[in-house]
């Protein structure tokens, strides 16, 4: 695996690196690592994503030039290239507005990813390992294979990729490789505590009140196996946290309760839609539930949107999820 992939990459002079909409730490970290790997091989490299860096990942832009689709410019600002590498997603469709532009170009298309591949997409070569905890680890393996010694910004990229997708080494995909590579990254100069501060300690002052507001609405369903919290715009505004975007910590706090298997968080968006985020601690598949409502994600982390009004939609969806968790308990446990 990877021969044709490596060959195309080696022979290209100019490489475009892209990824999925709303790029996360694994996508961006992989791209940072790949950018510096390809630069070390003497190539012209551009990174262009469908979306700009979110504030959480802005610090990565200080070491790696991340570009974003620019509808105001010709071809969205995508420069010419001899090979395209898409990171952390295996369908061009998920590059959003970039998809038609990338499809129209004649250059070979490569993908490096750890998700289940989409068989409808055609690639000139792939480097896909569904068992890898993060795409960033595949870039690390690629560098080994190509004999490239990665500079510090690339090592930081791999670290960000790995900690993003392993939940900072807490999820069940925390493999020997994930930890052993992290050890080498630290040996190479990566400062784990500094990256933690960049990624998880830059919230605005009003954020803890948003957490409190959500938590104060807590109710348990399905014999304590389901924890539900919700907050509409008025409640979040009253707490001084109208733009409460980061709910991962709330989901974590509710998962910390011993009886809880599934967590459900509702927030009212600015446009009146209701955002439902789901997490599972064990075997309950929240992705199936999210898909049934037009959303998606992974087995343990998924989400979907439904139209308002808030109270009605929350009551309806909460009831459906409670029934599912109840039924699962009966069937899966016993």
Q: Which residues bind a second copy (CB under 8 A)?
A: 168-172, 174-180, 182-184, 186-187, 191-193, 196-197, 200-205, 207-209, 211-212, 215-216, 218, 220, 224, 227, 249, 253-260, 281
The secondary structure of residue 331, as a DSSP letter, is: I
Tell the smallest beta-carbon distance from residue 2 to a second copy (Å).
23
CB of 246 to a second copy, least distance (A): 9
Is the four-CA dihedral 184, 20, 303, 269 of positive or negative sign? positive
Q: What is the dihedral of CA 262, 90, 79, 49, to 10 degrees?
A: 0
Cβ distance to a second copy smaller for residue 93 or 184:
184
Cβ proximity to a second copy, 143 vs 178, nearer residue? 178
Closest CB to a second copy among residues 224, 296: 224
Task: Please give the DSSP secondary-structure letter assigned to residue 78.
Answer: P
Dihedral over Cα of 129, 132, 136, 138: its sign: negative
Least CB distance to a second copy at residue 46 (A): 31
Q: How far is the CB of 57 from a second copy (least distance, A)?
A: 15
Q: What distance in Å separates the CA atoms of residue 300 and residue 41, rounded to the nearest whole number? A: 38
| End-to-end Cα, the chain, rounded Å | 43
Compute the least distance from the CB of residue 235 to a second copy, in Å. 12
DSSP 205: T
* Contact present, 121 and 103 (Cβ < 8 Å): no
Nearer to a second copy by Cβ, of 6 and 191: the residue is: 191
Nearer CB in complex with a second copy: 141/293 = 141
Q: Which two tokens stand for residue 48?
A: 């262009």
Q: Which residue has the tokens 């995909």?
A: 173
């Amino acid at each position: 695996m990877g021969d044709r992939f490596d060959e195309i990459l080696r022979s290209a002079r100019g490489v475009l690196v892209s990824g999925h909409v709303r790029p996360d730490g694994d996508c961006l970290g992989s791209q940072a690592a790949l950018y510096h790997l390809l630069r070390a091989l003497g190539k012209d490299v551009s990174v262009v994503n469908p979306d700009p860096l979110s504030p959480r990942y802005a610090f990565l832009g200080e070491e790696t030039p991340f570009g974003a689709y620019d509808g105001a410019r010709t071809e969205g600002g995508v420069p010419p290239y001899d090979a395209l590498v898409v990171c952390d997603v295996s369908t061009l469709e998920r590059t959003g507005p970039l998809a038609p532009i990338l499809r129209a170009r004649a250059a070979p298309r490569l993908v490096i990813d750890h998700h289940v591949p989409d068989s409808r997409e055609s690639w000139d070569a792939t480097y896909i390992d569904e068992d890898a905890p993060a795409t960033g680890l595949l870039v690390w393996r690629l560098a080994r294979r190509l004999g490239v010694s990665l500079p510090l910004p690339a090592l930081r990229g791999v670290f960000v990729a790995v900690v993003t997708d392993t939940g900072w080494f807490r999820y069940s995909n925390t493999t020997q490789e994930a930890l052993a590579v992290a050890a080498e990254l630290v040996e190479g100069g990566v400062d784990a505590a500094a990256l933690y501060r960049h990624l998880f300690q830059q919230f605005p002052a009003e954020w803890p009140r948003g957490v409190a507001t959500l938590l104060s609405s807590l109710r348990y369903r399905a014999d304590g196996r389901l924890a539900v919290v919700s907050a509409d715009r008025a409640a979040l505004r009253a707490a001084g946290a109208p733009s409460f975007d980061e709910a991962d910590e709330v989901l974590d706090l509710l998962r910390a309760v011993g009886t809880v298997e599934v967590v459900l968080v509702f927030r009212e968006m600015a446009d009146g839609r209701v955002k439902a985020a789901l997490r599972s601690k064990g075997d309950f598949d929240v992705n199936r539930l999210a898909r049934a409502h037009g959303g998606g994600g992974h087995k343990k982390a998924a989400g979907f949107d439904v139209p308002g009004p808030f109270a009605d939609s929350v009551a309806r969806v909460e009831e459906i999820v409670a029934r599912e968790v109840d039924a699962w308990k009966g069937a899966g446990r016993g």
